[in-house]
Chain A
Amino acid sequence: MKFLYVLLFCVFATSGFEEDLMPSAQEILNRMTSSFEKIEDYVVTLEGTIKMEGVNVPKTEAILFYKKPDKIHIESKGILFLPKKIMAINPYYLKRYFKPLSIEKKIVKEVTIYKITLIPKEKRLRNGIEIWVEDKHWSIKKMKITRFKGSTIMAHIEYTMIKGKYWLPKSTVVELNILAKARRPEIFDDFGEIDHWEEKGTVKTKRGIVNILFKNYRGVNAGLSDEVFKRK
């Protein structure tokens, strides 16, 4: 009997204990921000390729300048197409505009991954975001953005250690499933008109893959001047 009580106690205590160990979604966002806070600024060379129907663009290089919290400047001699939503990988952006809705935990190849669903704080944003965060460096491994009318953008991010202490992106693969010529419903909200595009239902889906390599990090936390971000 005593043994039964001990067994029952272990079963219930373990399940509760496990829940206590699992951080909340907000805590994870805070840990992500803390981890990201170590990075003040950096300069990196981007190499981008895009494979998309109706788009024929060669591999192009650009230089990206970043300064905390959200200053970005990109220079390129050629023409480079960078997915806009890649900017959402910045935890400051997520904390500022989104709030967590739910959290799930998975263990993949001995690495704990937290899947967090985020919803926008402001109604006008209309993006739903799911992020997969690993618990070693609290970095985003995967991100899925769902926009209005079902467009989705999925980003897979790999990281590397720079100078033995900075955990920064090494490569990103962005899979796009976007609607061509999709109308923004906000335009019609103010006037209460029928959205003719919705009525017709003839919007086409475009699929594409964008590969971005982050090469040759330099000047990490070297004190980048604000003048760089004023350049055209």
Chain B
Amino acid sequence: MFKLIHIENIKTFYKWRTGIGFLAIGVLLPLMMIGMSLDIGHGPSAMAVRAVKDLSENFFIVGSIFNGFSAAYFVMNSLWVLIPFLIALVAGDQIAGENAAGTFRISLIRPTSRTQIISAKFITTLIYTVLLIFFLGLLSIGIGILLFGRGDFLVPRRGEILVLLEGQTWLRFGLAYLLAIWAMWSVASLAFFLSTLAENSLGPVIGTMAILIASLIISKTPLQIFNKVKPLLFTTYVDGWRKAFQEPIPWHEINSGVLYLAIYILGFFCP
């Protein structure tokens, strides 16, 4: 099985399509960070100032309220449409791409079972997701700290001021990225599932994005008519990574979110 996964990894990571995700993040993220550093006083740094506006009338605020962690947090908030697309691009190609290339006929005559092949491809998709999020995290925090420095993290929240110590912030970001990986695995599973239904990879990619955006709209729109449907949608739980920055951390809510997403991940994979 490990050999099979290794082969699938080679097949996946040698495709130029897989590099698109890393290239897109590698180009866009530094541009965003440089833009933020040139735009101090506006944009995200101004948001940090607005968050403490009420207190600034009566308090001197000593220290940097906008640093590398703030920039990384802003980036995480901004790329929630792009990252699922980049994941769907690879996940949607796993089965449909090989179907279109006609190589399934060759691989399926070998002694390995269909279940093993599909499982190996699925695991490869999950590995790609982990590497992409890890790359995003490394780049955003790394460049953020390089340009804006580090220190305590002022979490931008409405109506509340929360400051996390630097040591705590590292752990919280670690937890946030783990939860983000778990959430993106649900997107990857959906794209993988759609890939088994299609004959070329374009359909699963577009289908995944269409379902994701429609579900997000339903999840985020505060209408009575959607309230009964919201708990059933996986998009209701994909922003669980934000809970890592609450004090105290709502473990109960995080556990429920992780469980619901696990059901979707397995549910999309099992058929």
Interface residues of A (CB under 8 A from B): 54-58, 60, 62, 74-85, 153, 176, 178, 180-182
B163 and A74 contact, CB distance less than 8 A: no
- Decide yes or no whether B96 CB sits under 8 A from chain A: no
A79 and B54 contact, CB distance less than 8 A: no
In angstroms, Cα B152 to Cα A148, docked, is: 33
B163 and A79 contact, CB distance less than 8 A: yes
- Decide yes or no whether B166 CB sits under 8 A from chain A: yes
Mask of B39-76 contacts with A, CB within 8 angstroms, 1/0? 00000000000000011011111111100000000000
Chain B residues in 8 Å Cβ range of A54: 159-161
Interface residue SS majority, chain A: strand
- Decide yes or no whether B165 CB sits under 8 A from chain A: yes
Contact partner, B55, options A58, A81, A85, Cβ 8 Å: A81
Interface residue SS majority, chain B: mixed
A56 and B152 contact, CB distance less than 8 A: no
Q: Closest CB of chain A to B134's CB: distance in Å?
A: 28
Interface residues of B (CB under 8 A from A): 54-55, 57-65, 151-152, 154, 159-166, 247
In angstroms, Cα B62 to Cα A84, docked, is: 11
A79 and B151 contact, CB distance less than 8 A: yes
In the complex, number of A-B residue pairs with CB atoms less than 8 Å apart: 72
Contact partner, A77, options B57, B59, B63, B160, Cβ 8 Å: B63
Contact partner, B166, options A55, A78, A178, Cβ 8 Å: A78
B60 and A79 contact, CB distance less than 8 A: no
In angstroms, Cα B160 to Cα A115, docked, is: 37
A78 and B151 contact, CB distance less than 8 A: yes
Closest to A73 in B: B62
Chain B residues in 8 Å Cβ range of A60: 63, 152, 163
A57 and B161 contact, CB distance less than 8 A: yes
In angstroms, Cα B165 to Cα A55, docked, is: 14
A57 and B163 contact, CB distance less than 8 A: yes
Contact partner, B62, options A62, A85, A176, A182, Cβ 8 Å: A62
Contact partner, A78, options B54, B162, B165, Cβ 8 Å: B165
Closest to A57 in B: B163
Chain B residues in 8 Å Cβ range of A55: 55, 160-161
Chain A residues in 8 Å Cβ range of B247: 56
